[in-house]
Amino acid sequence: MDLSQPKPELLDRFAAIVGENHVLRDAADLAPRLVEGRGLYKGASRMLLKPGSTEEVAAIMKLASETGTPIVPQTGNTGLVGGQTPRETGGDLILSLERMNRIRDVDPVANVLVAEGGAILADVQKAADAVDRLFPLSLGSEGSCRIGGNLSTNAGGTAVLAYGNMRQLCLGLEVVLPTGEIWNGLRRLKKDNTGYDLRDLFIGAEGTLGVITGAVLKLFPRPAGHKVAFAGVNSPTDALALFGLASNLCGGALTGFELMPRIGVEFTSRNIAGVRDPLPDAHPWYVLIDISTSDTAETAEVMIQSLLEQGIEAGLVRDAVIASSLAQEKALWHMRESLSDAQKPEGGSIKHDVSVPVSKIPAFMEEAAQAVLAAIPGARICAFGHLGDGNIHYNISQPVGADKAAFLARWREINGIVHGIVLAAGGSISAEHGIGQLKRDELAHIRSPIEMELMYRIKKAFDPAGIMNPGKVVALP
Amino acid sequence: MDLSQPKPELLDRFAAIVGENHVLRDAADLAPRLVEGRGLYKGASRMLLKPGSTEEVAAIMKLASETGTPIVPQTGNTGLVGGQTPRETGGDLILSLERMNRIRDVDPVANVLVAEGGAILADVQKAADAVDRLFPLSLGSEGSCRIGGNLSTNAGGTAVLAYGNMRQLCLGLEVVLPTGEIWNGLRRLKKDNTGYDLRDLFIGAEGTLGVITGAVLKLFPRPAGHKVAFAGVNSPTDALALFGLASNLCGGALTGFELMPRIGVEFTSRNIAGVRDPLPDAHPWYVLIDISTSDTAETAEVMIQSLLEQGIEAGLVRDAVIASSLAQEKALWHMRESLSDAQKPEGGSIKHDVSVPVSKIPAFMEEAAQAVLAAIPGARICAFGHLGDGNIHYNISQPVGADKAAFLARWREINGIVHGIVLAAGGSISAEHGIGQLKRDELAHIRSPIEMELMYRIKKAFDPAGIMNPGKVVALP
């Protein structure tokens, strides 16, 4: 008998907490919960528990703590670094928040919404919309990702430029600790300087310090005006200069500034149904500019035209189109959001989620391209992303006709090259996706010993039994 | 011989780290560093050390750690809760960052500025201004408070509405740990999801987890347009409704929305040189509205006029004036910023720095006024502050002709009454000033045992020897 596996009677005790009809035990039922989207990790587990309340989550963690049973919290299972996937050992139980999907309260006067950890992001957006408010977090996976996961990974997305990451969108949390105790930090306050910042410690901890069961989220007035433009530019240098113009001209009204290369337009036009090149001629690079104004719709119109005129005068914009209908706006954003899917038919893709200081993006792009092409001649670099945040999804499609497996076998080697350039520029190897399993060992390698030591001390202080999503983010030495 | 006092030879070892001419030992020299602005605390200390570099701070902390010597970090000594004041025991040494006042770097393209912990806030503002950028933190004490203290207290001020607290204005930190190790977290990244959020743990920790010696701060484009208006309103309820209009109309362009009562206009007109009532008739309440626009100066003009017109139409604004010159803008803000000083000639003042969810401000104001006047008939309530953030400085001047000492003796009793109403509304007993010594025991009383336990664990994990600003924020059980 394998001692690392939970015994049947222990599984029954866990099941009794939530009721047998809220448990998955069957291998076929469990299978989709053991893999993540990119197929990088495949874990094992005997049981998935679906608690219906914070108290049930607390009872699960209390029993886990008493019996030393590792627990992996899971929400939408859309994470990209294996943080939500149980380990291969089979000893981990999965705690799914899918039944805890309620919106507990919406207050449009105070501009707050209280959601459970299992609430789907799109449902939160809709609940805000219903009271004429905006919840700005927006991701490709918003139809299936859930608030607890968004918070645990400090999710970013396309509206970070104006509204910030998930950390900036959250006022308070309810967390079940590894011991089963409940921390009620569901505060609705914009200002509260009363002791250590527990909230921001749980946000971004990827479920290794506790289970986020509820959150107070910030709402915003819905913009009165909205305009989207798509412009061809010569280079990342020109795109950055245009971003400078846009920041000065639009301030907080600049809600998106996305960069993409010519090959991104080719990939999406070729591989995504309904996408076509919005401009008549080809350009080396493109930017998608999104402006939202609060006072009037006309301000957005004036602002975007003025920005493009200034960009053309300064020689930064080669050609541009402004969406003239909601359908056109959606089409431009659809092209941008399809960039990941558009790479799949092109063969293997080695991916990076990096950030550098905004001013260093052009130099990073140039240096990384040289190094990658020296290592893999013919590699097709599809580097795109949130220019305004310094966050580039540096994806590399295999050379045409190359062997996919042989190309993908060089994942770590190419990561090493790209991350080396990122780190030399003072950048981050994980701008928005997190650490999970994928970058855990690399994190320990690139960070100073004292920084890792502080993280270990926090992990031990919060999870002395080591049962809370073990093996993710940090591995205790 | 008192064992709690550092021995002369130990003092000499500390002095040798920074050099004797960067040490204060004399009682007369030390005296002003042992008291804080309101005179609530008076501590004792044998020595103040002025290190000139991060390495010297590290050497001090290493020696302190080895010898069990308590260290109190001090910057501008403008804190209002005794966090920067040594204890009365006389065993604490003061570590002043006043010599570490350099701006290490300014990068207007990346919109970042790197300052040392001892840099004066006004100097940081000026350095940003010199490259046509804005550093938005603005406080009454900006001419003397320093960045390390601003970060350690997560300072707020008058621009929080649009730009956030100090926490939102900081990208990275350099911190000397209680052990003397240096954590270099001076990152300049807008997005970086790589492990636990150490930065936000040090911010707001009031120097109890380490000494902040450097910080990367965010800069913003300087607004193109700026308008300030002052409006008379009937009640906090109407002020809140006007705030709702302003939020919807102006979005991120609404950079200030301050509430003050009639008695505040009377106190400032009477007691502050050069202040006069800006409106011809008296009104029960007033709001100061500040709008900054990024595109053009005209937008600010149009926006504020449109807001006041809508406010008058809706019956929310009784009368209003728009500042038509920089001098008039400054005069309006000067009245608001003089409200604290204006209370001094009126006798004793019992103070609170509270926040409640924005929508609950009118109910809080009414309930607190009833309770305070029931306890002290004739008390003159001068409750003012950052309405848009839910943060009210709930100050109470003594009844005319009352005995000052007898009035002030009721400080704790009145705190208990007001804080009880605040807590029942889900509010905070320290919106922006922090905990320090003043609210330490009250914090332990109002927070759940598990929340205090988590704070104790963090304190122990970071400062096992208990030498880092001991007795502030949390007292280990």
- CATH code, A331: 3.30.70.2190
The answer on A217 and A232 residing in a single domain is no
Q: Rounded CA gap, A247 and A241, in Å?
A: 10
Residue A137 C-beta-side C-alpha neighbours within 13 Å: 29
Mutation target among A139, A196, A247, A391 for the B interface, most CBs of B within 10 A: A196
- Would residue A466 count as lying in a domain? no
CB contacts, 8 Å: B473 with chain A:
195-196
Contact assessment for residue A321 and residue A229, using Cβ atoms and an 8 Å cutoff: yes
Q: What is the largest CA-CA distance in chain B?
A: 75
Please indicate whether, in this complex, the C-beta atoms of A154 and B193 are within 8 angstroms of each other. Answer: yes
Amino acid identity for residue B387 in this structure: L
Structure tokens at A387: 């220019």
On whether residue A435 sits in a domain, the answer given is no
For range A345-365, the mean pLDDT: 95
Specify the pLDDT at position B1. 46
In a domain, A430, yes or no: no
By the 10 Å C-beta count (0-12 exposed, 13-18 middle, 19+ buried), B205 is classed as buried
Residues of B in contact with A474 (CB under 8 A): 195-196
Of the partner residues A167, A294, A457, the one whose CB lies closest to the CB of residue B251:
A294
Instruction: Assess A317–B contact: CB distance below 8 Å, yes or no.
Output: no
Which residues lie closer than 8 Å to A269 by C-beta, 6 or more apart? A275, A276, A277
Domain shared by B47 and B153, yes or no: no
Is B251 in CB contact (< 8 Å) with chain A? Answer: yes
Q: Which domain holds residue A167?
A: 103-221
A8 pLDDT above the threshold of 70: yes
CB of B149 less than 8 A from some CB of A = no
* Average confidence (pLDDT) over B180-196: 96
User: How near does any CA of chain B get to the CA of A423, in Å?
Assistant: 11
Q: Which of B177, B194, B462 is opposite residue A443, by nearest beta carbon? A: B194
Question: With 60 as the cut, is the pLDDT of residue B396 above it?
Answer: yes
- Residues contacting A266, CB < 8 A, separation 6+: none
Summarize pLDDT for A57-101 with one digit per residue, the tens: 999 999 999 999 999 999 999 999 999 999 999 999 999 999 999
Half-sphere exposure of B69 (CA within 13 A, CB side): 27
**Which residues from A are below 8 Å from B112, CB to CB?**
357
Q: How many whole angstroms separate alpha carbon A320 and alpha carbon A239?
A: 13
Same domain flag for B92 and B129: no
DSSP-derived pairing of the beta strands B23-24 and A112-116: unpaired
Query: What phi and psi, each to the nearest 5 degrees, are found at residue A88?
Result: -75, -15
- Two tokens, residue B149: 């203290």
Q: What is the CATH number of the domain that holds B52?
A: 3.30.43.10
Helical residues (DSSP H) of A153-205, grouped into ranges:
160-163, 198-202
pTM of the entire structure?
0.96
Interface probe with A: pick from B189, B193, B197, B359, most Cβ of A within 10 Å: B193
Q: Give me the mean pLDDT over the A225-239 stretch.
A: 97
pLDDT at position B206: 98
Phi, psi of B424 (to 5 degrees): -65, -25
Does residue B468 form part of some domain?
no
Task: Label the pairing between strands B93-96 and B71-74.
Answer: parallel
Question: Which residue among A156, A183, A357 places its CB closest to the CB of B110?
Answer: A357
CB contact under 8 Å between B194 and A439, yes or no, is yes
* Residues A118, A196 share a domain: yes
Residue B454 lies in a domain: no
What's the complex ipTM? Answer: 0.95
What's the CATH number where B404 sits? 3.30.70.2740
Contact between A215 and A115 (Cβ < 8 Å): yes
- Judged by CB atoms closer than 8 Å, whether chains meet at A251 and B249 is answered as no
A128 and A177 together in one domain: yes
CA distance B27 to chain A (A): 32
User: Which pairing describes strands A319-322 and B71-74: parallel, antiparallel, or unpaired?
Assistant: unpaired
Distance from CA of A25 to the nearest CA of B (A): 32
DSSP-based three-state secondary structure for B94: strand
Q: Which of A336, A232, A259, A251 is nearest to A295 (CA)?
A: A251
Instruction: Give me the pLDDT at residue A3, please.
Output: 58
Average pLDDT over chain B reads 95
The number of domains in chain B is: 4
Weakest mean pLDDT among A289-298, A302-311, B230-239: A289-298
Mean pLDDT of chain A: 95
Q: In this complex, is the C-beta atom of B266 within 8 Å of any C-beta atom belonging to chain A?
A: no
Q: Are residues B217 and B107 in the same domain?
A: yes
HSE on the CB side for B258, CA within 13 Å? 25
pLDDT at B3 over 70: no
Mean pLDDT to the nearest integer, A131-136: 96
How far is Cα of residue A408 from the mean position of the Cα atoms in its chain?
A: 23
Looking up residue B119, the CATH number of its domain turns out to be 3.30.465.10
Nearest Cα to Cα of residue A73 among A56, A93, A87, A53:
A93
User: Given A299, A322, A343, which residue is the final one in a domain?
Assistant: A343
Q: Let me know whether A216 and A232 are in one domain.
A: no
Query: How large is the average pLDDT for residues B299-307?
Result: 94
B295 band by pLDDT with thresholds 50, 70 and 90? confident
Query: Which tokens sit at A456?
Result: 């270990």
Domain boundary among B47, B73, B98: B98
Cα Rg of chain A (Å, integer) = 23
pLDDT of residue B441: 95
The arithmetic mean of pLDDT across residues B302-311, rounded, is: 96
For the segment B249-278, the average pLDDT, to the nearest whole number, is 95
- List beta partners, residue A260: A286
User: What gap in Å lies between CA B409 and CA B39, rounded to an integer?
Assistant: 14
- Cα of A229 to nearest chain B Cα, Å: 18
B259 and B185 in a common domain = no
Residues B124 and B174 in one domain: yes
Q: What is the pLDDT of residue A1?
A: 47
Domain membership flag for residue B453: no
- d(C-alpha B186, C-alpha A405), whole Å: 39
Q: Report angle CA B116, B122, B125 to the nearest 5 degrees.
A: 85
Most A CBs within 10 A among B153, B196, B199, B446, hence the mutation to make, goes to B196
Domain boundary among the residues B58, B83, B98 is at: B98
Residues B217 and B231 in one domain: no
Q: What pLDDT does residue A252 have? A: 84
Average pLDDT over residues A262-285: 97
Same domain, B229 and B215: no
Contact B156 A192 (CB under 8 A): no
Residue B2 pLDDT greater than 80, yes or no? no
The answer as to whether A24 is a domain residue is yes
**pLDDT over 70 for what percent of chain B?**
99
Residue B453 token pair: 């336990």
Q: Would A125 be classed as within a structural domain?
A: yes
Name which of A431, A432, A388, A411 is nearest A145 in CA terms: A432
Summarised one tens digit per residue, pLDDT across range B105-129 is 999 988 999 999 999 999 999 999 9
The arithmetic mean of pLDDT across residues A196-210, rounded, is: 98
Q: What span, in angstroms and rounded, lies between the C-alpha atoms of B19 and B17? A: 6
- Claim to verify: residue A281 and residue A311 sit in the same structural domain: yes
- pLDDT surpasses 90 at B272: yes
* Contact at CB, B431 and A191, closer than 8 angstroms: yes
Q: What do you get for the CA distance between the two ends of chain B, in Å? A: 28
Q: Is the pLDDT of residue A350 over 90?
A: yes
Work out the pLDDT band at A157, boundaries 50, 70, 90. Answer: confident
Task: Kindly report the number of other CB atoms within 10 A of residue A276's CB atom.
Answer: 10
